[in-house]
Structure 1
Amino acid sequence: MENQHMYSQVAPKGSNRAVDEPTSEKYPYPPHEIWEMDKTDNLLYIEEIGVPFIKVDTQYHIKKWNQMFLDVVDVTKSELIYERLDHLADQSFVMERIFDLMNQSLRTGKVELTTFEDKESLIHLRALPLSEANAIYILLEDRSLQKQFENLLTFHHQMEAVSHIAAGVAHELRNPLSVIKGFFQLAQLTNEYQKYYDTILAELNRMNVIIEDFLSVSRRKMERKLQSPMHIMKSLVEIMKAECLLHNVEFSMHLKETSQFINVNESIIKQIMLNLLRNSIEAFGKSNNNRTFEIRTLIENGHYIIFVKDNGKGMPKEVLQQLGKPFFTTKETGTGIGIPLCKKMIEHHGGSFKIESTFNVGTTVILTIPLIEH
């Protein structure tokens, strides 16, 4: 069966009038099977429905056309009257394609289809041979306006994607900025700026790494190396303690000793952990005066498992089911990017990301990363 394009009925123009198609669907011209069943009826159908057409005999003399054909193709009425198709083929790209398609249909004796397009134009052609009359009908459908609309729509989607990426960058940079702000506040209280200098500088470097990571998303680059999970987790202690102290949260960390390694990007793992900490802090209700944030690790079935637990507001089942879908958020200023991004990053490391939550009890995030013998 020939490929068919289903479109709505074309509006009448000039002497053309729209008629009901002899099919169960709306086609701008008859499908191959219906054309073969009753060519006489379909000749009337073609000439009455608002579709540009031209009728050419086997000697390339142009026998018939409608006004819509003249509107679409860059030829004049006098040219169609006094010139043959093979002569006009040299004057217009569309006429050249019509000429080529007609020759193809003459060779095969069958319905032939072709589509050609450039940056702004899209045109469908169909050749319908009529052996009894030694002629061929060429039907033309100009979809250029649709192509231009689709180009505009594609551009709109690209700009929308850019805005989402920008929102994601802002979301991820908020974590180190929050840490830097917190340490400056502590330094102001204690007047010990030098004590926090290294940590602040490290967070500034991490911000730069975050930006680089987003810029390399399209290249799917992620520099990884074998590292001790103990080292990574311990390097987070001071930052997390300071952040929890600023928000009146009791912090605890319980690590399972291991000599095995994980093949990860250290900056990304830290980014994920700090993102989870910030989510937990934002989840604590104002009335919660017993705020706790706990990190616990286990080794099981060749994997390093990290449990990140808080006693915040938790989530009802309907929210939990939606969580993780891009751009879904319950926060007024949220982007809905943080959790999906964390999940994707862990999966890129060959691990898994799972969230368990009970409303008014708390939330536990479980990260699983494969261990490697070193």
Structure 2
Amino acid sequence: MVPSNKYKLLIVEDSAFMRKVISDFFKDHPAIEVIGTARNGKDAIKKIRELKPDVVTMDVEMPELNGIETLKYIMEISPVPVVMLSSFTEKGARQTLLAMEYGAVDFVTKPGGTISLDLHKVKEELIHKVELAAKIPIEKLKKHRKALSESQSDEPAFHEKSVLYYNRNFIGKMEKNDWRRTADKIVLIGTSTGGPRALQEVITRLPESFPAPILIVQHMPPGFTKSLAERLDQISRIRVKEAEQGEIVEKGTAYIAPGGFHLKLRKIGSHYELFLDDQEPPRAGHRPSVDALFESVSQFNELDKIAVIMTGMGSDGSKGLIALKKSGNVIAIAESPETCIVYGMPKSAIGTQLIDEVVNVNEIAMTIMRYLR
């Protein structure tokens, strides 16, 4: 009998060895208890109905019914937080991004391939992400599915009433004529857990003629950011790409920081170009870091900036936001707790008292556009 105060974990893996290794990770965990294992997708669907777990770990690649198809079915019939385990390959990255799109809340890469003899190297990461996922309310997953389906429809009209918080004091300090007419604009976005789906909901709503470059930091390992950029580029009206060293930023293009590099901005003559920094250490375990991006862009007072902080664990972005707000015109937007999968980074940013607007994720694109028109 599982104690009522413990979260129930179901492990879905086709390898008996991997099922045993992952189960052992949680053997003495004070808050998580393994209530069962499943050997494939069909078995997982059956076990989820029977055992009603609070959280699931699932291999991306499985026989009979793979992780992607299983996940789609689960999120339609019996939504539950799912952490995917992915091989560190190009195919694995693409499949993992699809899994995030279909409802997985996070993923962990297996060192060494599908049957990983070195899985112990990511033990703490997996435990931490399962702990986090177990606490996510099912309603949050349902709201993200609804918002995601809406993002595939025609661009909605913006409604003032959907703005949950509007900081008139900070807005009032900005010379609106300067903001609207004289300065070049740049949009900065930072996100982490739940970010791929949040980015999809924002980026796919932007018009093809978007009048500014967008620099994005999504906490992800190398390889996965390229797949994320390619996927967003396929389904968006603007151009989306993984940032490259030294390229000149252009309006209507979103640049995603590559995993393993801080994304920074520098000015060469009259142009702004990207600088990828793998020498500066990770910030709070992250490289790329939202703080590093924001602090880099803060030095350019001549640019009007829109800074957006969305779903994610921790406080990355808050220090950078303080640096941004010390100079130049800056509008800061945070995703609301109502739609965040993890309300960590936005909560920390709001705690600085420098956020101008807090809005649901499906209204962020329209809020950005309101300041660029």
Higher percent of residues as helix: 1
Give me the TM-score of the superposition, normalised by structure 1: 0.19
Q: Which has the larger radius of gyration?
A: 1
Q: Identify the structure with bigger relative contact order (alpha carbons < 8 Å, sequence gap 6+).
A: 2
